[in-house]
Amino acid sequence: MNRLRRAREGQDDGAALVMALVFLLIVSLFAMAALDKSSSTIVSGQQLRLRGDLQYALDGGVDRALQVLRDELGEGAPASCVDPDDADGVGDVTLNGQTATYTCKTLAGRAALTDDEADTNYALVTTSPSAGALTTQAGISQDLLVGGSVYLNGKVTNAHVGKPIQLIDGDLVSPSSRAGCDADLAALTNVQLTAPAGGQLRACTEQTLADALPSFTMPTNPATLPSVLTSGIQVLLVGGAKCRIFYPGTYTSVPALPNGEHAYFVSGVYYFEFPNNSPTWTIDGDTSITGGQRGVSTDTTVPTSQCSTMTDATAMAQPGVAAYVASMAASRLDFGTTWIVGGKSTIDFKKGRATLFTPYLPPAQVNETPINFIAIESNGGGYKAVSLNQRVVSGGSNNTLMQLNAKLYAPSAAVDVFSTNSTVAAARGGVVAYTIALKASAAGSDALAISARPGKGKPRPPFRTVKIVSKDGAGGSSATNTAVATISNYPPYTVTVLSWRTGTD
Residue 474 lies in a domain: yes
Q: Which domain holds residue 224?
A: 215-451
Distance CA 342, CA 356 (A): 19
At 193, phi and psi to the nearest 5?
Answer: -100, 125
Residue 349 lies in a domain: yes
Distance CA 319, CA 235 (A): 10
pLDDT score of 346: 95
Peptide bond into 84 cis (omega under 30): no
Q: How many beta carbons lie within 10 A of that of residue 473, not counting itself? A: 18
Instruction: Tell me the three state secondary structure of residue 484.
Output: strand
Inter-residue contact 431 to 450 (CB < 8 Å): yes
pLDDT score of 352: 77
Residue 232 lies in a domain: yes
Q: What is the DSSP string of 359-410?
A: PP--GGGTTSPPEEEEE--SSBTTB-PPPTTEEEEE---SS-EEEESSEEEE
The total number of structural domains in the chain stands at: 3
Residue 121 lies in a domain: no
**Is the domain of 387 the same as that of 418?**
yes
Q: Is 239 exposed, middle or buried (0-12, 13-18, 19+ CB in 10 A)?
A: exposed
Inter-residue contact 353 to 396 (CB < 8 Å): no
Q: What angle do CA 215, 217, 223 make, to 5 degrees?
A: 150
Of 185, 210, 235, the one marking the end of a domain is 210
Q: What angle do CA 417, 418, 419 make, to 5 degrees?
A: 130
Residue 124 lies in a domain: no
**Is the domain of 371 the same as that of 337?**
yes
**Is the domain of 232 the same as that of 186?**
no
**Is the domain of 435 the same as that of 327?**
yes
Distance CA 451, CA 327 (A): 37
**Is the domain of 199 the same as that of 220?**
no
Residue 93 lies in a domain: yes
**Is the domain of 351 the same as that of 419?**
yes
User: Parallel, antiparallel, or unpaired for β 191-193 and 134-136?
Assistant: unpaired
Residue 201 lies in a domain: yes
User: Parallel, antiparallel, or unpaired for β 98-108 and 463-472?
Assistant: antiparallel
Beta bridge partners, 224, equal: 250
Inter-residue contact 267 to 242 (CB < 8 Å): no
At 342, phi and psi to the nearest 5?
Answer: -140, 170
Of 186, 210, 234, the one marking the end of a domain is 210
Of 180, 210, 240, the one marking the end of a domain is 210
Q: How many beta carbons lie within 10 A of that of residue 169, not counting itself? A: 17
Mention every residue, 6+ apart, whose C-beta is less than 8 A from residue 294.
301, 335, 336, 357
Beta bridge partners, 104, equal: 89, 468
Secondary structure element (H or E) that encloses residue 501, with its range = strand 495-504
**Is the domain of 241 the same as that of 151?**
no
Distance CA 359, CA 36 (A): 87
pLDDT score of 102: 87
**Is the domain of 323 the same as that of 436?**
yes
Residue 493 lies in a domain: yes
Distance CA 181, CA 417 (A): 26
pLDDT in tens, the chain (505 residues): 555 555 555 556 667 776 766 677 776 766 666 666 555 544 444 444 556 677 777 888 888 888 888 887 776 666 678 777 665 667 777 777 778 888 888 887 777 666 555 456 788 999 999 999 999 887 666 788 888 889 999 999 999 998 888 888 788 999 989 999 999 999 999 999 876 555 678 888 888 898 889 888 999 999 888 887 888 888 877 777 788 899 999 999 998 887 778 899 999 999 999 999 999 998 887 788 899 999 888 888 765 667 877 777 877 887 778 877 887 777 889 999 999 999 999 998 877 788 899 999 988 887 788 999 999 999 999 999 999 999 999 876 666 778 888 999 999 999 988 766 555 667 788 899 999 998 775 544 455 677 775 444 456 677 788 888 888 876 656 678 888 888 887 777 778 888 887 665 5
**Is the domain of 268 the same as that of 381?**
yes
**Is the domain of 345 the same as that of 477?**
no
pLDDT score of 489: 78
At 12, phi and psi to the nearest 5?
Answer: -65, -35
Secondary structure element (H or E) that encloses residue 76, with its range = none
**Is the domain of 168 the same as that of 49?**
no
**Is the domain of 240 the same as that of 370?**
yes
CA distance from start to end of the chain: 86
